[in-house]
Amino acid sequence: MSLQRIERPVIIGTRGSGTSLGADFLRPGSRATFRFLSRYGVLVAFLALWQVSSSAGWVNAAVLPPIDTIVAALWKGLAGGSLLGDIAISLQRAGIAFAAAVAVAIPLGLFMGQVRAVETALDPILQVFRQTSALALYPVFILLLGLGEASKVFVIFWATLFPLLLNTISGVKEVDPKLIEMARVYGAARLTVFRRVVLPGAVPSIFVGLRLSATTALLLLIASEMIGANKGIGFQVMNAQYNFQIPLMFAAIVILAGLGLIANQALVSLQRRLCRWSNPID
């Protein structure tokens, strides 16, 4: 029991103790302001600069309209409902494709990561597919599936599949073999080892894949909607530009940025809940 004295217990990484050093001397009220500014100051300054340079005429307001005009166009589109239909159809395309990619890539990746022979056999073709731009294949998909919904959903599915699949495979492969051996020593059967050791160990890497895939899904969504669509946020960006409705174009771009942020934030929160044990996320 002399151990307790020899070795001081160390607890690190308690959550919520992260007040920044520079804020310590400030009063509580201004401390919150300080924290807000240290995080969002540059963003606020960027928006302010945009607003001022546009309304003061430093830049061509027809090409870069002031922020308040963009916000007004955004509000009109959302409250008036004209953009809601576009958002719905875009979410549907990206959502179906992303869900299909998850349903295919995670089980397949878990399997491939476990069985070396399958991984060895499929790796070269996966690398070729991954390095071939999905956008370059889009005309091929259009030829095969027509210019309708199917080719759009498929090109998004195709592009989101690979980051998720490859990250799932590497997540499984990088599970410490020493942990697997430990589980075997306690008599764990193959399925138990998979369920209790391999799967939880691969989750952080799967989340890296999910976040990459979500970003890719939105990217491909816009690209596919810019070709041969008559509805959707990507279509609105192109269409508004053709018709020189520049505030509306920026409103659609803002919606896209918002969707990306929301998707990423949702995945980050889910990851925080599932992987509290792993390194804190950026």
Partner 1 sequence: MSTASRGEVSIRDLSKSFTLGGRPLAVLRALNLDVRSGECLVIVGASGSGKTTLLRILAGLEAADSGGVAIDGKPVHGVGSERAVIFQEPRLLPWLSVLGNVTFGLEVRGVPKTDAEERARFYIALVGLAEFSDAYPRQLSGGMAQRVGIARALTVQPEILLLDEPLGALDAMTKIGMQEELARIWSEENVTMVMVTHDLEEAIYLADRVLILPREKGGAARLIDVELPRPRDRSGSRFVRYREELLREFGLH
Site of interaction with partner 1 (CB under 8 A): 1-4, 6-7, 9-13, 176, 178-179, 181-188, 192, 196-197, 200-201, 203, 275-278
Of residues 231 and 272, the one with the C-beta less far from partner 1:
272
Q: CB 271 → partner 1: shortest distance, Å? A: 13
Pick the closest to residue 224 from 110, 113, 116, 90 (CA basis). 90
Q: CB 117 → partner 1: shortest distance, Å? A: 23
Of residues 8 and 27, the one with the C-beta less far from partner 1:
8
The amino acid occupying position 94 is A
Q: What is the CA radius of gyration of the chain?
A: 24
Pick the closest to residue 109 from 206, 204, 191 (CA basis). 206
Of residues 164 and 193, the one with the C-beta less far from partner 1:
193
User: Is residue 112 a contact partner of residue 169, using CB atoms and an 8 Å limit?
Assistant: yes
Residue that is written with structure tokens 């073999």 in the block: 177
3-state helix, strand, coil in the chain (%, to 5): 75, 0, 25
Q: CB 167 → partner 1: shortest distance, Å? A: 18
User: Is residue 69 a contact partner of residue 58, using CB atoms and an 8 Å limit?
Assistant: no
Distance between CA atoms of residues 45 and 95, nearest Å: 34
Of residues 154 and 207, the one with the C-beta less far from partner 1:
207
CA dihedral 105, 167, 226, 143 (to 10 degrees): -50
Q: CB 162 → partner 1: shortest distance, Å? A: 27
Tokens read off for 8:
């001081």
Of residues 192 and 265, the one with the C-beta less far from partner 1:
192
Of residues 1 and 63, the one with the C-beta less far from partner 1:
1
Q: CB 93 → partner 1: shortest distance, Å? A: 35
Q: CB 85 → partner 1: shortest distance, Å? A: 43
* Residues in contact with 158: Cβ distance below 8 Å, sequence separation at least 6, in sequence order: 134, 137, 141
